[in-house]
Chain A
Amino acid sequence: MLGKTADGLFWMFRYLERNENTARLLDAGFRIALTRADAAEPEWASVLTTIGIKQAFLEKYERLETTHVIDFLLRDSSNPSSVLSMIQAARDNARLLRTALTRELWSATNECWLTLRELLNRPVRERELPFVLNTIQQQNALLNGTLHNTMMRNEIFNFARLGTFLERADNTARILDIKYYLLLPSVSLVGSSVDNVQWETILRSVSAQRSYHRLHKGDVRPREIANFLMLDLRMPRSLAFCYAKLTDNLTHLAKDYGVHQPCFDQAKTVFAKLTNHSIDEIFESGLHEFIQEFIRDNNALGRQIEKDYRFYG
């Protein structure tokens, strides 16, 4: 497989995953903006910070108005992380590596692009937002389903999955990085309505509300939320889950190629940090430090994968 193709797959699936995350964050933020006007601005600020585009937004707009945030996140072509920019980039990559994709997966990608382009060719009004976000997630689900149902489980699949889970781990970690203070025991006022909304928002932004409540019978506690998002191997957006998948796919590649690359050991090390510690130990040694270190490790792993598998000349 060409290094360029691996690169294209990896980034294609990072872009797609990022879109899904943006849709979730928008959904959670919009809920706050609707229900608690005073909390809207800080919530949008944290959404933009999570995606890493607050600076860019504030260069364009003075205030964090909901309509502007929606437009910037969904369809602003000057924002390289907007949903429209991302699907364009993902589809460009798919065109570039068409030979590696099944016909079905290419069609699904192309259709996703056609649908979102049509959907986002004019400003999205607030009342249309739920429908638009839903469509983004549906299209992504279609694409991921097609990946699973039609692609061989080989190196092509592995590089696609590495992209997905590296991006997802980054996203969950960034949410935790922005909101960690809400999860610290010292500030938790169990039962206070402020925190309840904030905690629900965190869960909502990783689509984990229902799973969490099922698991904890409606008992919302910061320690459990942190545990759920970081260490629970059953939760598909948790850091541990992402690293289980990353090490899985890197193991396949190592077996397939007969070579253990440095990125393999790097992923194992990060995974061990997540599996060898309890959430209490992590709280004790510093939640924020742990998350920041994780984000650094995760970025380093991405760079190492690019190097080990010769993505660039």
Chain B
Amino acid sequence: MRRIVRIASWLYALAVYGFIFLPVIVLVLFSLQATSFPIPPFTGPSLRWYDAVLSDPRLTSALVNSLLVASISSLAAVTLGFLSAWGFARFVLPGSGLLRGLITLPLTVSYLIIGMGLLVLFNWAGVPKSLLAAGIGHVVINLPLCFAIIYSQMGDHQINIERAARDLGAPEWKVLLLITVPVMAPAIFAGFFLSMTFSWDEFVISFLLTRFDTTLPVEIWNLLRSGLNPKTNAVGSLVFAVSIVLVVFFELTLLRRKPA
């Protein structure tokens, strides 16, 4: 009986792993295709489509745009999130529960609706479509996340260290910069990292709020109009590689440091 469960478990797990990895393997394999269609039979390996991606100015500038929007909007989101988390965790504010609820509210609304709302507002206020507009949208989706992560990590332990610093005469800004920020560094970094990956991958808000200069997911979307193309495989594989490097880096630096 136990043996049957074990064999069935292995088979099932293998099948699910196969299902999970099938599209990724097909994507990466046919990015190395030598001919113009990313369908069997495999004719590679060849790096010509990676060449095509790296020499396409639209894709490379979209890549730079994506990195810029992701890093700047994440920096803004984590700064706003950290300051408000500190304010709510350290001081008694009237209506605190309600206000915290307001900050985390965007987490419950889909990106499409957040993007639609901003589109209607900006259209009405005469704000042109731009990377800045998309960046503003990315702060809206990432701020609640940063706030929730940092707020949940602010415990009694940190309050005591801060109090010690104040008792020794440190002004409030020194407590913030020399005590709170270093102590909260793991949570701040986690918020920043998650915001980076969400912004890097975000499509619908960027699609609605940018026009000519746009982010990588939107540019990839534009590529899709030309049908199946190994160039799309190549750029997709590159994006995947960047994400994997980020995730592994995150695993190694942040999660391993925790005392078990």
Do A and B pair up? The answer is no
